[in-house]
Amino acid sequence: MNESVMHGLFPTPVLYSTTNREFTKKELDFVKKTYKNVDKNEGNLVSKNRYILNEPAMAKIKSEIETAIQEFMDKVISAKPDVKAVITQSWLNYTAENEYHHKHEHPNSFISGVYYIDADETNDKIFFVKGGYQQIQIDPVDWNIWNSKSWWLSVKSGNIVVFPSHLTHFVEQKKGDNVRCSLSFNTFLKGNIGEDIALTALNI
């Protein structure tokens, strides 16, 4: 018998990239200043400014995020050229030792993502959770991408992670003495979506 092939039908895409550059003093000073103007989240702190990428100090970071968003659109969605995912809201998260980021999704958004400004690759991770009802629950001998209910990616400063906004994710209790700083963002579609003949036309 020939070797079997396991196909991943309708997988959930997660883009993981790295900018490979040092943050500028202007960027880091802005992030540090913003740390003084925050709201308390369920397990950590979030910037009061919910449009952080509109700030001049974040211009380079915004450009890098837009590049990652477009790569996701090109490789995963393969939309017509006039259909774009544009950034709607963006904010900074600060997570100190023993803090966490609660399990959540991003409503009213198409694709979302996280840009890591201060993350320790040894300790920092982002966890994703498989949604839906599991009728039969079998405890596996070995965990893999097919049988796992959650999966994590190790992250470091300069990483960008982009994913569908409906994908549940969280950050476990923080270890290490750095204050983990990440920039989260939401997007929505702009352009001529769907087709008149199919009665799916939507012009945003």
Nearest to 131 by CA among 159, 168, 94: 168
6 within domain boundaries:
no
What percentage of the chain has pLDDT greater than the value 90? 92
109-145 pLDDT per residue, tens = 999 999 999 999 999 999 999 988 888 989 999 999 9
What is the three-class DSSP state of 54? helix
1 within domain boundaries:
no
The H or E element spanning position 59 is: helix 59-72
State the CATH number of the domain containing residue 156. Answer: 2.60.120.620
Q: Is the pLDDT of residue 1 over 80?
A: no
163 close to 12: Cβ distance less than 8 angstroms: yes
51-97 pLDDT per residue, tens = 999 999 999 999 999 999 999 999 999 999 999 999 999 999 999 99
**Domain containing residue 162:** 15-130+149-203
182 close to 190: Cβ distance less than 8 angstroms: no
143 within domain boundaries:
no
Domain count, the chain: 1
Spell out the residues 6+ positions from residue 121 whose beta carbon is closer than 8 angstroms to its own.
154, 155, 156
